[in-house]
Amino acid sequence: MKNINKIFSLVFVAILSTVTFTSCEDQDLERFPELSNGGFVKFVTAPVFEMGADPATASFSAMTEDPNGTVATYEVTVVGDFAGAPSEALAFGSTTTFPFDVSFTTADMAELFGVDASTFVEDDSFEFFGVVTTVDGVIYDGSNPSGTYPEGDDPEDAGSWNGGNTNATVTAVLLDAFNWEVTYEDAD
């Protein structure tokens, strides 16, 4: 019994010594880079991405906002998926103030793409990409979601924590307005 008490005493002293002589203030041991609010634009409310099967009456209605207050510019481009659509993205709109309206009608898209409104049929779609430049110059690009991420325990290998780009897994549940598709079909 005496030996068990001695062992517990020695273990207690060892743990107490380790805790006492370990410094939490050593900056070299800091594992996380300094984090700040990034450039994030989101929909004010969840929009309906199926705007109706009949292009003659279909429309999309949505507003975006800058919840962090860090966006200097927000630019939106669009790629059409319809017969005769150009392969390159076209400028849809941009802003420096919020809320920003990203709503459109079939007539608006016909004018933007330079086609007759009758060109659009059910199941055609438009894919939108947002690019944010923050007030400190960092660019978040919805058309190029990439970056490097932390690996291992080495603080020197902290990664870029998404390097100023977006991550679709994280932003999908947050109503992000970086990449979305609107389709001519009935909402179920």
- Tell me the CATH number at 51: 2.60.40
Q: Is residue 9 part of a domain?
A: no
Q: Is residue 115 part of a domain?
A: yes
pLDDT tier at 166 (50, 70, 90 boundaries)?
very low
pLDDT single digits (tens) 91-137: 999 999 999 999 999 999 999 999 999 999 999 999 999 999 999 99
Q: Is residue 11 part of a domain?
A: no
Q: Is residue 133 part of a domain?
A: yes
The pLDDT value recorded for residue 162 is 41
Could you tell me the residue range of the domain that residue 95 belongs to? 38-183
pLDDT tier at 153 (50, 70, 90 boundaries)?
very low
Which residues on adjacent β-strands are paired with residue 128?
Answer: 78, 180
Q: Is residue 6 part of a domain?
A: no
Q: Is residue 17 part of a domain?
A: no
The pLDDT value recorded for residue 110 is 96
Return the percentage of the chain with pLDDT > 70, whole number.
65
More confident residue, 68 or 152: 68
Q: Is residue 23 part of a domain?
A: no
Q: What is the pTM of this model?
A: 0.70
- The DSSP string of the chain is -HHHHHHHHHHHHHHHHHHHH--S--GGG--S---------EESS---SB--S-TTT-EE--EEE-TTS-EEEEEEEEEEESTT--SS-EEEEEESSSSEE--EEHHHHHHHHTS-GGG--TT-EEEEEEEEEETTS-EEETTS-------SS-GGG---TTTT---HHHHGGGTBSSEEEEESS---
Q: Say how far apart CA 13 and CA 59 lie, in whole Å.
A: 72
Domain count for the chain, please give it: 1
Most confident range, picked from 25-29, 110-114, 160-164, 177-181:
110-114
Q: Is residue 12 part of a domain?
A: no
